[in-house]
Structure formats: C-alpha cells, structure tokens
Amino acid sequence: MIGPAVPRPRHRRGPCAKAAALALTCAVTACGGPAAAPEPAPAAPPPGLTVALRQMRIDELKHVLSVAVGNSGPAPVHIERVQLHAPPLATLPPEPVNTRIGTTPRVDLRIPYGAVHCAGRTPPAPGPAHVLAWIREPAGTRRIRLPLPHPDPLVTRLVGLECGAQAVRAAADVRLGAMWTRRGDALAGEVVMRRRTPGTTVTLHDVGGSVIFGLSPAGAREKPLAVLGPDREELTVPVRFTAPNCSAHSMADAKKPYAFPFWASLPGLERRYLEFEVTAELRGSLDRLLRETCKNR
C-alpha cells in the first residue's frame, strides 16, 4: 500500500549560496561588469588653431556668445562640437556646430553659455577657462583642448553683469504697474520700484520698447529716471506705451514683441539690462492699442 505523499523539505539558501546566485545573475546581466573606460584626456590642438570668446550685441539678450576660431595652420579642421569650460559659468553639454574651418583669421561658432551662481553683491572671480572641441579626422573623432586667456575679459564681464542683475533684483522689485489707462494713441501707467533689501540704493537709468511697441517716460524727464534711496521704500515713474511701428515687415520680424527692457544698477556695479514681466492683461491692452492705432493710419 502506498502511503500519502510526503512533501520534500524546502532548503533555505545560506549567505554563500545567495552571494553565488547574485554573482551569476550579475554575470549574465553585466550589472557587475567592469566599469566603462574613462574618456582619454583631451589632446593638444592642431598647429595654428586658436580660440577666443566674443559676443555680438544681438546675442547679449539671448545668453549666447561666440567661440571665435582662427586657423593659420596648413590644413582645414572640421569641428563637430564645442564645449565651454569657464567657471563660474555653469558648464553646458557640448554644442553641435559641424563646421569646416579652412585657413582664416576668424570663424564665429555661436553657442549658449551657462548661468552664474552668485553669492552676495560681489561677483565671484572667474577661474581658468578653456574650450573643448571634437574634431573629425580620417581615423575618427578626436577631442582637443584650446586654452583661453586668464582671466578672460568676456567671462569677467558676463559674470559681473549676471551677478549685477541678480543683485538688483534682490535689492528691489522693479515692475510695470497694474493700472493702465488709454490716452489717445498711448497707454499710460507707471513703473513701480519697491524695496526688498534695506539700506541699498537702486538706480533706474532708463526703460525701452520692443520692435512693435514703444515704452518711454511720460513727459520730459532727465536720466537716470529714478533713484530709490535708503530712506524710501517705494517710488513710481510715470511711463507710456505707444505703437509707432505698424509696418507688416516689422510685425513679421517681431519675435519678442512684449520684451521691454530696463537698465538699473547698484552703487559700484555696472548698470545692468533686465526685462519687465508682462501680464496677460497688459498684453491684451497692448494688442488693442496696436490694432486701433494702426487702423487709423
């Protein structure tokens, strides 16, 4: 007579068995494989290849600069990507440029640059800077290092302007007011300066318009437009919007019709370009001003 089946005991794996199983799993999945080989150090540039940093005026508002590459060497160089290392600017990923550079004193490769981490009102001192470039050669792509002068004058200026803008915004809230009144072919309102940091003088030098809309002080006013001294918590500056440019060409080229700049500074710092925030309500009022003004012309 066959008795009832007896279940086989389940064996518990000890730590050694578990470790062996994990090792086998990692061997199959490559989770414990050798680490990837580090990228080789950048090589020296080809003879005659040099770089410098430049910035066109149209790029000042776009956080873009130009890597000006010169080539006095005997052979052309094909650059696939470039990357700027210029502390305290944040390092961004390599920028594709895919440009063949023959014998020439200068070819501008436009790339974005990173933000600056500013602490306090004193801009940090720039560190040594260089450009990495990936160049295409018959044997493959090679990474090279192109040093920049130290301290680089453009990096020093960008750090100063960026930290100056942050310092201005930390010291005072400079904004377009909430109330706007139509007066003929203009929209009248005010710029409001409200203190954020006690004891700091903030100077509003000027305001400006866009391709489509004009923004200017109301009436005759000397510059700087306003100075928020340590004894004031808030002040206002009367301003007016107009729509002086109704041409189809201007409207087609207006990529930032609501970008309205102002220039402000703190004592001892270069005046800085900043932009007002524009509410949806103000945009609607400006659009009506544009339609009605241009319809009457």
What pTM does this model have? 0.68
d(C-alpha 223, C-alpha 211), whole Å: 22
**The predicted structure's pLDDT at residue 35:** 57
Pick 31 or 66 by higher pLDDT: 66
**Residue 187 CA: distances (Å) to CA of 73, 192, 221, 242, 255:** 59, 16, 18, 7, 22
Q: What is the pLDDT averaged over residues 284-294?
A: 91
Token pair in block for residue 83: 């990357």
For 212-227, write each residue's pLDDT tens digit: 899 999 987 889 999 9
For 134-163, write each residue's pLDDT tens digit: 999 999 999 999 999 999 999 999 998 888
3-state helix, strand, coil in the chain (%, to 5): 20, 35, 45
Q: What is the pLDDT averaged over residues 173-180?
A: 96
3-state secondary structure of 103: coil
Token pair in block for residue 91: 């390092």
For 60-115, write each residue's pLDDT tens digit: 878 999 999 999 999 999 999 999 999 999 999 999 999 999 999 999 999 999 99
**The predicted structure's pLDDT at residue 15:** 47
**The predicted structure's pLDDT at residue 22:** 44
